[in-house]
């Protein structure tokens, strides 16, 4: 192990303390995150997600006005689908959600480039995340959408050229794409974009119960490389992403979650029919936002019973929606993990997963 020069640690430590301070303040000011699927219509034909087989009818879908019932002071809202840019009233959702949440990010497959650019131009404060499951051959096979990678990349490049600030892309790991993880991460670094990771899950939302990971070792090895790259970076945000990916390895290996789950307390999921769930992994509904006000939905005996199910949920999923708020709630132990791994990284020692 190389000698650790204390001066080498000074800058990362100061950066991390500042980052923690900001995160902590934000944690006190904002208390809840939302995940809102505004449609189950989708132009992709993904292997790991069957939403496209069960599209909603436009007449069944929630309207932007239904979301006026949401409480104010949400920390973050993710607009998703299906493919959310299929909805022509997506900007009406943005305008209402802007009055409710501190930050809005839209997840998309990036196919409708011009529509995405038009929305981004008028809404420079809204983040855009494009799902890319690998480079062209892998992505297009997994997403069942010919030319999907090229279109997604074109969308990212054009958003960049537009000067849009909050852009990124993400990969859902499965047996078929671990080889593409690190090259995609390098692409995100060279394009100065955020890079998100997930692994396949089964849930009512995806209409899937047969996603399996048979090549765990390969997936874990790729994620370990990613954790090492993230720890080497100078961005404190990347060090916390290293922790997220450490938890993702833990999930891939089938272990219990590293952090408890508080879905239904600090996170909600609204499906396109208007049903409010604790998360997109649990089918139980607190109530429907088309029919009830938020207080009736959120503060009832029925919602408490569902929260009890969350406390005993055996799924152990590790998706950014349910994990990010818990990282903030557990910022001290998570920061200690980050600090210890950053010191190891500076000293030239490689991260290997251990619980
Ligand atoms: S572990 Fe949490 S986020 Fe996952 S399905 Fe269970 S309650 Fe939902």
pTM: 0.91
Q: Which DSSP symbol is given to 133?
A: -
How, if at all, do strands 167-173 and 267-270 pair? unpaired
Our answer on whether the CB atom of 262 is closer than 6 Å to any ligand 1 atom is no
Ligand 1 atom at minimal distance to the Cα of residue 310: 7
Residue 317: CB within 6 Å of ligand 1? yes
Asked which of 118-122, 217-221, 239-243, 325-329 is least confident by mean pLDDT, the reply is: 325-329
Q: Is 35 in the pocket of ligand 1 (CB under 6 A)?
A: no
User: Which pLDDT value is given to residue 1?
Assistant: 46
Give the start-end residues of each E strand in 1-142: 33-37, 76-80, 104-108, 127-131
Asked if 23 contacts 75 with a C-beta cutoff of 8 angstroms, the reply is no
- For position 355, what pLDDT does the model report? 76
Cα–Cα distances in angstroms (integers) from residue 195 to residues 170, 172, 216, 231, 277, in the given order = 5, 11, 21, 14, 27
Provide, rounded to the nearest whole percent, the portion of the chain with pLDDT above 70.
93
Flag whether pLDDT at 314 surpasses 80. Answer: yes
Tell me how far the alpha carbon of residue 216 is from its chain's centroid: 21
User: What's the rounded mean pLDDT across residues 14-19?
Assistant: 69
Residue 115, ligand 1, Cβ within 6 A: no
In the predicted model, what is the mean pLDDT of residues 161-188? 97
208: which residues sit within 8 A by CB, 6+ positions away?
48, 49, 50, 200, 201, 202
Q: Which element (helix H / strand E) includes 136?
A: helix 136-143
Query: Does the C-beta of 323 come closer than 6 Å to ligand 1?
Result: no
For 317-329, what is each residue's pLDDT tens digit? 999 999 998 998 8
pLDDT attached to residue 11 = 73
Using the mean position of ligand 1's atoms as its centre, give its distance from the Cα of residue 281 in Å: 5
* H or E stretch covering 53: none
Cis amide leading into 54 (omega within 30):
no
Of 267, 279, 283, 320, which is best to mutate to test ligand 1, by the most ligand atoms within 8 angstroms of its C-beta?
279
């Amino acid at each position: 192990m190389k000698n650790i020069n204390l001066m080498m640690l000074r800058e990362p430590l100061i950066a991390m303390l500042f980052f923690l301070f900001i995160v902590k303040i934000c944690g006190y000011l904002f208390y809840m995150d939302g995940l809102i699927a505004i449609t189950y219509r989708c132009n992709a034909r993904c292997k790991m997600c069957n939403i496209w087989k069960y599209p909603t009818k436009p007449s069944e879908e929630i309207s932007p006005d239904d979301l006026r019932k949401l409480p104010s002071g949400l920390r973050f809202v993710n607009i998703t689908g299906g493919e959310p840019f299929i909805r022509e009233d997506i900007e009406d959702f943005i305008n209402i959600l802007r009055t409710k949440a501190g930050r809005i990010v839209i997840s998309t497959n990036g196919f409708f480039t011009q529509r995405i650019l038009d929305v981004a131009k008028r809404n420079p404060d809204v983040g855009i995340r494009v799902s890319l499951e690998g480079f062209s051959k892998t992505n297009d096979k997994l997403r069942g959408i010919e030319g999907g990678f090229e279109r997604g990349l074109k969308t990212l490049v054009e958003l960049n050229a537009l000067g849009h600030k909050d852009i990124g892309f993400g990969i859902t790991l499965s047996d078929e794409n671990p080889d593409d993880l690190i090259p995609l991460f390098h692409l995100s670094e060279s394009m100065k974009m955020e890079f998100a990771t997930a692994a396949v899950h089964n849930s009512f939302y995806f209409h899937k119960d047969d996603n399996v990971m048979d090549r765990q070792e390969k997936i874990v090895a790729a994620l370990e490389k990613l954790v090492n790259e993230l720890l080497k970076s100078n961005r404190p945000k990347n060090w916390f992403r290293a922790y997220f990916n450490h938890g993702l390895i833990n999930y891939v290996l089938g272990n219990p979650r590293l952090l408890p789950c508080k879905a239904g307390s600090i996170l909600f999921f609204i499906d396109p029919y208007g049903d409010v769930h604790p998360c997109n992994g649990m089918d139980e509904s607190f109530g429907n936002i088309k029919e009830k006000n938020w207080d009736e939905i959120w503060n009832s005996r029925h919602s408490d019973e569902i929260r009890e199910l969350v406390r005993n949920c055996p799924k152990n999923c590790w998706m950014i929606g349910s994990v990010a708020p818990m990282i903030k709630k557990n910022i001290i132990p998570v920061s200690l993990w980050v600090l210890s791994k950053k010191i190891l990284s500076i000293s030239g020692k490689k991260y290997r997963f251990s619980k």
